[in-house]
Amino acid sequence: MSDQLIYATEVILNGLMAGVLYALVALGFVLIYKASGIFNYAQGVMALFAAMTLVGIMNGQVPFAHLINAIFGAHITHFGWNVPALLAILMTMAVMVLMAWCVQHFVMRHLVGQEPIILFMATIGLAYFLEGVADLMWGSEIKTLDVGLPQGLNVWIDDTTYGIFGYGFFIDNLDIVATVIAAILVAALVAFSQYTKQGRAMRAVADDHQAALSVGISLSFIWVLVWSVAGFVALVAGIMWGTKSGVQFSLSLIALKALPVLMLGGFTSIPGAIVGGLIIGVGEKLFEFAIGPLVGGATENWFAYVLALIFLVFRPQGLFGEKIIERV
């Protein structure tokens, strides 16, 4: 096996792992869009907010400490104790559920029946609002997130690499764990959507709001549920990306990488988000490997968007999206 083939195989493996993480972020968009027809621009900021909240709770940081100190002249920063990672994750999930209820109660229920562009603009405002609240609650400095996930290169052959067929491959432990967790979560979400009463209610709401109301389905409950599930997905994505690169405000930009995934897979398809994520992950890695040296590199920054543009031209509904025909 040649060195080029060995490296190409390593690139594909790393691309598959990155693709699963892209799909995880895209799932948050799909869930909300399927249930309410809203493209949630705030999904990336939700991942940032969840990760910052988790770090703050784990470190025993006082929420809004900077604001309290400025108003009352105090000098408090921490409670004086740390919270175990598992308990902190559960507390953060409770915060995300509360956020979902607030979004539904104070924002979305007042916009029922509005044009999609109005709902989209509302999520843009929500994104900047959450970003400001996160800054006020926990501060804007870069934070380190460690919930006990293994990190660093795996040790198997030659103390540095995974070995497959006697050859070495560099694969990060965190990427492996993140891939397994994301795959389990994706499978759980698919099962939840297809086989539970609440999942079927979500699909009914997605198909027809009025018909769902007529059979006794509560739109308010379903939308709170959907935003809560999207918040949980954002929390998992925030943990993975925050552990990998630190919790900072650029974390919210992971949502931008989910856009090409949605364009490829379709905005209404959970399997489409998975397949789209894998295509983008592997495609950008292989393109960088094969074409990057010829064009000066950095192709990962734009490859996904060019591929999405091609799909928009020839198949605008995506691979698994529904083709909508409007009669006038």
pLDDT tens-place string over residues 134-189: 988 988 888 888 888 776 655 444 444 444 444 556 677 777 888 888 888 878 88
Domain extent, residue 211, equals 3-254
pLDDT of 55 above 90? yes
If you search the block for the tokens 């400001």, which residue do you land on?
A: 132
Cα distance between residue 252 and residue 244, in whole Å: 14
Task: List own/partner pairs for 88-93 with CB under 8 A and 24 or more apart.
Answer: 88/54, 88/57, 88/58, 88/147, 89/54, 89/147, 89/235, 89/239, 91/57, 92/50, 92/53, 92/54, 92/57, 92/235, 93/231, 93/232, 93/235
Q: What are the angstrom distances between the C-alpha of 74 and each of 62, 85, 119?
A: 12, 29, 40
pLDDT band for 327, please (50, 70, 90 cuts).
low
Within-domain flag for 116: yes
Determine the length of the chain: 328
More confident residue, 117 or 114: 117
Cα distance between residue 285 and residue 277, in whole Å: 12
Domain count, the chain: 1
* SS3 at position 247: strand
Within-domain flag for 289: no
Within-domain flag for 211: yes
- Read off the amino acid at residue 206: A
pLDDT of 63 above 80? yes
Within-domain flag for 96: yes
Q: What is the predicted pLDDT for the residue at 178?
A: 81
pLDDT band for 324, please (50, 70, 90 cuts).
low
The pLDDT tens digits for 266-294 are 887 878 888 888 899 888 888 888 888 88
Q: What is the predicted pLDDT for the residue at 129?
A: 93
Identify the top-confidence range among 45-54, 61-70, 189-198. Answer: 45-54
Within-domain flag for 231: yes
More confident residue, 160 or 212: 212
Give mean pLDDT, residues 223-239. Answer: 89
**Residue 184: how many CB atoms within 10 A of its CB?**
11
Cα distance between residue 273 and residue 269, in whole Å: 6
Within-domain flag for 94: yes
pLDDT band for 101, please (50, 70, 90 cuts).
very high
Within-domain flag for 314: no
| DSSP code, position 322 | P
Within-domain flag for 259: no
Question: Mean of the per-residue pLDDT values for the chain?
Answer: 82
